[in-house]
Structure 1
Amino acid sequence: MAEVRNRRERLRAETVAEIKGTALRLLTEGGPDAITLRAIAREMGMTAGALYGYFPTRDDLISTLISDVYTELVVLLEAARDSVPADDPGGRIVAWGEAVRGWAVAHPAGFRLIYGDPVAGYRPPPGGPARGAELRACDGLVGLAAAAWPRAKRTQSEGDSTWSDFDRELAEQVRTGYPDLPPAALALALRMWGRMHGPIALEVYGHLRPQSQNPGKLFRIELLDLVRSLGL
C-alpha cells in the first residue's frame, strides 16, 4: 500500500509541476490573461474538471505560482550574496543585483508575474501569496544597506525619512532585526532596489534592447556607480 501511495504522490507532484510550467509558458506567450484553467487543461490534454482536483480555482494556481517564483528568486539572491565575503559590502550589492538580472533574463515570465503585469480579476489571499518571501527579500536588501551604512550615511540625509513612511510590518521587521539602523537606511535599501529594478524591467519588457546591444554591461555600470555613490 505504501508503494501505491508513494506512486500516487509522485504522479500528483509531477502533474502539479506540469500545470505550473504550462501556466508560466502561457504567461510568456500570451500575458497574464492567458492563464486560465481551461487553457492549461487543453494544453495538457486534460479536462478542466480534472484540473480542479489540483487547483480548485485559477486564483489558487496563481497564488501558488507567485509564492514558488518569489521563493526561488530569494534563495538564489541569498546564495549570490553569500558567495561574496561579508567584509565586502560593495561586492555583495553587485552580486545581488547581477543575480536578480540573471534570473529575470532567464525567467521573464516569472519576473513579469511577481514584478510586472497584474493578472486581471486575481484576488490574492490575505497577506499576499508570497508575503514571507517578499519580506525575506526586503530583509536581504536591508542587510546590504546595513553593511554599507557606516560609510553610506555620509552621503545620505538621515532627517528626511521616518518609520511611518514605510509599510508597518516591514518597518517593524527592520527595527527588530537592525535596532541601530535609522529609517534613512531602510529608504536607502529601497532606493538601491529601485536602481536595480528599473534597468531590469526595461530589458525584460524589450524597451532597452533597441538602444543597447549589451544591456548586461550597462547594468553592471549602474551597479558599480551605485556602489561608488555609497562610498564603497
Structure 2
Amino acid sequence: MTGTSEARAGTPSAGRGRRERLRAETTAEIKATALRLMASGGPDAITLRAIAREMGMTANAIYGYFATRDDLVTTLIDDVYSALADAVDTAWANTPAEDPAARILGWSRAFRGWALANPEGFRLIYGDPVPGYRAPEGGPAPDAARRVCTGLAGLAAAAWPHAEPLYRDSTFAWSDFDAGLLDKVRPAFPDLPPAAVALALRVWGHLHGLVTLEVYGHLRRQTASPDKLFQEELDQLLRTLDVPRP
C-alpha cells in the first residue's frame, strides 16, 4: 500500500495538483498583501513591486500571477464586491417577503456588518479610486454591482406600498437617472416608478454615509455607541417611509 501511495504521489497529475495549490495560495497572499498595503498607505500603495517586496518575491515572479497592476486591482474589486453582494443577498433571502421592515433592516445590517469586517475592501470599492487605474470594458465586478444595485432597489420596492403616498408630488422621470443604473434596476423591478428609484438612492445615502464615517474612523471620535446610532437611523428611516414594524 505504501509503495502504491508513493507511486501515485509521484504521478504527473499529483505534481500538477501541488503546483495549482501553491499557485492558488500565492495568489491569495498577493491579494491579501495588496489590501494590507492599501490600508496602511492608501490606494497609491498598491503596486506589484511593493507587493513583491513585502512577500520576498522578485518583481518578475509576481508578474507571473498578475500581468499588470490593473489586472490585480480588477481581481480585488471583483472578489470584494462579490463578497459584499453575497452578504446582502443572503440577508435578503433570509427575511420573509411579507415583512418589509425585516427585509430593510436585514439588508442594511448586513451591509454595515460586512463593511466593518472588511474595511480595506470597503475602502477599495467605495473610497478613493486607485490612481491611474483603468477598469475593463463594462467595469469591474459587473455582476456584483448589479446585485447590490438590485438590492437597494429591493429596499425601495419593499417600502413602496407604504411610502408611495408620500411621494405623489415627485417630479422624477426616467431621464433623471443613469442608463446603466436603470439597466440594473428595471429588469428586476419593472413596476417601480422613477420616484421609487430616487427613494432607493436616498436610502443608499443614509446607509452609506454612516457606514463610511464608521469605516474611516471618524464616528468613533464622536460617539462610543455607533451601533445605537445606526439602529436609530434605521428606525427613523422606517418611520419616515411609514413602514410598519412587526
TM-score (norm 2): 0.90
* 1:195 corresponding residue in structure 2: 206
- Give the distance between the partners of 1:199 and 1:30, measured in 2 at CA: 23
1:160 aligned residue: 171
Residue matched to 1:64 = 75
- Segments of structure 2 that go 5 or more residues without pairing to the other structure are 1-11
Q: Counterpart of 2:223 in 1: which secondary structure?
A: coil
Distance 1:71 1:229 in 2: 31
Q: Deviations over 1:149-196 (max 9, x none)?
A: 111111124642111111213213433222221111111111111100
Residue 2 and residue 85 in structure 1: after superposition, are their counterparts in 2 closer, same or farther (change >3 A)? Answer: same
Partner residue of 2:139 out of 128, 133, 136? 128
Q: Does 1:83 find its partner at 2:104?
A: no
8 Å Cα contact 1:67-1:129 kept in structure 2: yes
State the partner residue of 1:52.
Answer: 63
1:147 aligns with: 158
Partners of 2:122 and 2:184 in 1: CA distance? 25
Tell me what 1:22 maps to.
33
1:19-73 residue CA offsets vs partner (Å, 9 max, x unmatched): 0001011111111111111111011110010000000111110111011100000
Of 202, 213, 225 in structure 2, the residue corresponding to residue 214 of structure 1 is 225
Structure whose CA Rg is larger: 2
2:133 is paired with a residue whose SS is coil
Partner of 1:119: 130
- Equivalent-residue separation in structure 2 for 1:95 and 1:27 (angstroms): 30
How many residues were matched structurally? 232
Identity of aligned pairs, percent? Answer: 62
Deviations for 1:76-99, whole angstroms, at most 9, x for unmatched residues? 111112222111111111111111
Instruction: Name the CA distance, whole Å, in 1 between partners of 2:183 and 2:36.
Output: 38
Q: Secondary structure at the match of 2:219?
A: coil
Query: Is 1:231 matched up with 2:242?
Result: yes
Cα contact 2:100–2:159 (8 A) shared by 1: yes
**TM value normalised by structure 1:** 0.96
Q: Structure 1: give runs of 5+ residues left out of the alignment.
A: none
TM superposition shift of 1:142: 0.9
Give yes or no for contact 1:66–1:130 (8 Å, CA) kept in 2. Answer: yes
Q: How far, CA to CA, are the matches of 1:32 and 1:177 in structure 2?
A: 34
Q: Is the 8 A contact 1:158 1:182 kept in 2?
A: no
Q: For 1:111 and 1:126, how far apart are their aligned partners in 2?
A: 22
Instruction: Tell me if 1:5 matches 2:16.
Output: yes
Deviation at 1:214, TM superposition (A): 0.9
Does structure 1 residue 37 correspond to structure 2 residue 48? Answer: yes
Tell whether the 8 Å contact from 1:22 to 1:40 is kept in structure 2 after alignment.
Answer: yes
Alpha-carbon distance, 1:15 to partner: 0.7
